[in-house]
């Protein structure tokens, strides 16, 4: 007897179902925009009705307030649903990229480890590659930022500025920034913590949101368990104004065999 369809490879079947859901992303985004627009108009209309009927017709005013509250609750729920779907699509994209990626990543040619890392970032991310083709000056080496009583340095910075609206009000296109530093061959949790602290110290001087923090090492010494757990399960949280951003902290190791090792393996960012 033949097994039911999909049972031969349940993991692939589940991923195929996720593919179909992810393909609905443009439709879901349009539905969200239309629904949110209607709800905002509903809230504005009922707020106006409440103002003009307050003190004249108590019944209509009360009904308007109830409708106003219902509209606000509906808008919040729609935003949460949109956030959930965005997270699903981003995770699905990362899983798909990891599934399709070459399990062995060769270190590209370059004079220094930092230069080789810059070339790898451009090759592994179509977003970074396209941006650097148009703006090669956006890739900078050995950048120092003035801090409080000290300077903060990163060996590699890639920065695509956010939009004018984002820089003024924190809304719109936030751009992206990648910060990398050469660390010791045997990094500690203090080194990872310092990387996050230094990123927070310079985040206000960047014209974009950091999306990746990289600690580069050139040795193949096995990572201690606590360092591995920190890198995998403890991302950095950076604050800028009233916004808070979750940023992956990565350890990229350049091995003597000419390949990279990643903890964790981050794909699709930016």
Cis amide leading into 72 (omega within 30): no
Residue 256 within a domain: yes
Residues 257 and 124 in one domain: yes
CA distance 82 to 104: 35
Length of the chain measured in residues: 270
Cβ contacts of residue 25 below 8 Å, gap of 6+?
85, 89
At 184, list the tokens. 């010791």
Residue 268 within a domain: no
At 258, list the tokens. 């000419």
For position 1, what pLDDT does the model report? 45
pLDDT digit of tens for each residue in the chain (270 aa)?
Answer: 454 554 455 656 666 667 777 777 788 888 888 999 999 999 999 999 988 888 788 888 899 999 999 999 999 999 888 878 777 776 766 666 666 666 678 999 999 999 999 999 999 888 999 999 999 999 999 999 986 678 899 999 999 999 887 777 767 788 999 999 999 999 999 999 999 999 999 998 899 989 999 999 998 788 999 999 999 988 899 988 778 888 989 999 998 889 999 998 887 788
Question: How many C-alpha atoms does 153 have within 13 Å on its Cβ side?
Answer: 5
83, 100, 117 - which closes a domain: 100
Using alpha carbons, list the distances in angstroms from residue 186 to 28, 113, 192, 223, 227: 46, 16, 11, 7, 9
Q: Domain tally for the chain?
A: 2
32, 66, 100 - which closes a domain: 100
Instruction: Report angle CA 224, 178, 206 to the nearest 5 degrees.
Output: 125
For position 14, what pLDDT does the model report? 63
Residues 153 and 92 in one domain: no
Per the structure, the complete domain to which residue 257 belongs is given by 105-263
CA distance 250 to 228: 10
**pLDDT tens string 224-251:** 999 999 999 888 999 887 788 889 899 9
Q: Is the dihedral of CA 121, 124, 130, 131 positive or negative?
A: negative
pTM greater than 0.75 (yes/no): no
Q: Give the CA dihedral 18, 247, 161, 156, nearest 10 degrees.
A: -120
100, 125, 141 - which closes a domain: 100
């Amino acid at each position: 007897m033949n097994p039911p369809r999909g049972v031969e490879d349940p993991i692939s079947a589940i991923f195929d179902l996720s593919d179909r859901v992810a393909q609905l992303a443009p439709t879901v985004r349009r539905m969200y925009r239309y629904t949110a627009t209607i709800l905002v108009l509903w809230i504005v209309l009922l707020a106006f009705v409440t103002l003009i009927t307050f003190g004249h017709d108590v019944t209509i005013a009360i009904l308007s307030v109830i409708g106003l509250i219902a509209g606000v609750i509906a808008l919040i729920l729609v935003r949460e649903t949109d956030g959930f779907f965005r997270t699903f699509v981003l995770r699905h994209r990362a899983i798909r990229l990891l599934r399709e990626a070459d399990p062995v990543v060769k270190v590209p040619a370059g004079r220094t480890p930092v230069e080789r890392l810059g070339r790898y970032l451009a090759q592994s991310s179509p977003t970074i590659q396209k941006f650097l083709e148009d703006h090669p000056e956006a890739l900078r080496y050995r950048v120092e930022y003035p801090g409080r009583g000290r300077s903060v340095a990163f060996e590699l910075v890639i920065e695509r500025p956010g939009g004018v609206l984002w820089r003024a009000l924190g809304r719109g296109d936030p751009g992206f920034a990648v910060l990398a530093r050469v660390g010791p061959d045997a990094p500690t949790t203090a080194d990872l913590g310092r990387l996050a602290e230094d990123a927070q110290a310079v985040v206000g001087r960047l014209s974009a949101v950091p999306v990746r923090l990289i600690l580069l090492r050139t040795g193949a010494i096995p990572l201690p368990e606590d360092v591995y757990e920190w890198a995998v399960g403890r991302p950095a949280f950076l604050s800028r104004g009233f916004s808070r951003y979750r940023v992956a902290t990565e350890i990229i190791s350049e091995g003597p065999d000419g390949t990279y090792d990643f903890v964790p393996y981050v794909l699709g960012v930016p």
